[in-house]
Amino acid sequence: MELRVLRYFLAVAREESISAAAEALHLSQPTLSRQLKDLEEALGKTLLIRCSKKTTLTEDGMLLRKRAQEILDLTHKTEAELRQSDTHIGGDVWIGGGESEGMRLIAQAARSLQKDYPDIHVHLVSGNASDILERLEKGLVDFGVGVGSVDPNRYDWMWLPGTHEAGLLMRKDSPLASRSCIRAEDLQGLPIISSRNEDMRRRYTEWMGKAFETLNIVATFNLIYNAAFLVEEGVGYALCWDRLVKPSEDHALCFVPYEPKIMIDINMAWKKHQVFSKASQKFLERLREVM
């Protein structure tokens, strides 16, 4: 597959029209159609459903769109790193982050770095743990900030200051809102909104035992910010970490921690034996200085 043809394919996926994509790419429609047909024949897959009003993607086409974007993003990242001169320090640092207070330290390091190296640009990519690890594996981000355990066979890492405590996010008019702590038996029978994060589910299983499997899980989430709306609308109670949603006095929600406590550490990881760009190396050095 040529990068040029992948760009053509993504343009069609974006425009949902071969004619509109051809116009955006400054190509004739027959030329673009032929390139796409050649791509389908080379892959042995039908990628597009061609209709008079709209061109849509098949299931294989949706997979290729995801992979094609990753390939082009990695190509752009690599080209940018190689264009940097031997003496000038600049470029891009890509950091993937789940929801954690560790991102505050990342922001402090970025601010400090920018003062000395204004041509270094930091790009943040948000997602849950699996999203970030996938991007880290593919080289789409240089560092991944998250909580919980790290596979030492695949990654190097550093612990970041601070921890998160698990608890229950609920409406202030909930019968449990006046509690100082929540115990495992209090969760039975409640409509639960649970994270899909495997490390978090493992910790709940250790805390509750087999009772975790009997919880009435009515919804799941990968980022708590959006799940908080479900809680606010009365869908259920969210299992989450503290300080990610910050209820104020006039806020409709409150957070109550568990007893016994469930604590988790914050880390920043990168691939083992990774060769950093100058910008990424400077960021890592500056983060250690800030810490």
Q: pLDDT-derived band of residue 53, with 50, 70 and 90 as boundaries? A: confident
**What is the Cα–Cα distance from 10 to 69, expressed in whole angstroms?**
8
Q: pLDDT-derived band of residue 228, with 50, 70 and 90 as boundaries? A: very high
pLDDT at 87: 66
My answer on whether 70 and 189 are in the same domain is no
My answer on whether 149 and 270 are in the same domain is yes
Q: Would you say residue 137 has pLDDT above 80? A: yes
CATH number of the domain encompassing residue 142: 3.40.190.10
Q: pLDDT-derived band of residue 248, with 50, 70 and 90 as boundaries? A: low
**Helices 59-83, 3-15: crossing angle, 10 deg rounding:** 130
Neighbour tally for 199: CB within 10 Å: 14
pLDDT at 184: 96
Mean pLDDT of the chain: 91
| Tens digits of residue pLDDT in 170-186 | 999 999 999 999 999 99
In 3D, which of 5, 13, 63, 69 has the Cα closest to residue 39? 5
My answer on whether 169 and 258 are in the same domain is yes
My answer on whether 256 and 274 are in the same domain is no
Mean pLDDT calculated for residue range 124-130 = 88
Q: pLDDT-derived band of residue 46, with 50, 70 and 90 as boundaries? A: very high
**What is the Cα–Cα distance from 119 to 90, expressed in whole angstroms?**
4
My answer on whether 180 and 211 are in the same domain is yes
pLDDT at 268: 96
C-alpha 229, offset from chain centre: 19
Domain membership of residue 28 as a residue range: 3-80
Domain boundary among 39, 60, 80: 80
Output the pTM of the full model.
0.74
My answer on whether 65 and 137 are in the same domain is no
For the purposes of burial, counting CB atoms within 10 Å of the CB of 275, is it exposed (0-12), middle (13-18) or buried (19 or more)?
A: exposed
Q: Would you say residue 86 has pLDDT above 70? A: no
Q: Would you say residue 250 has pLDDT above 90? A: no
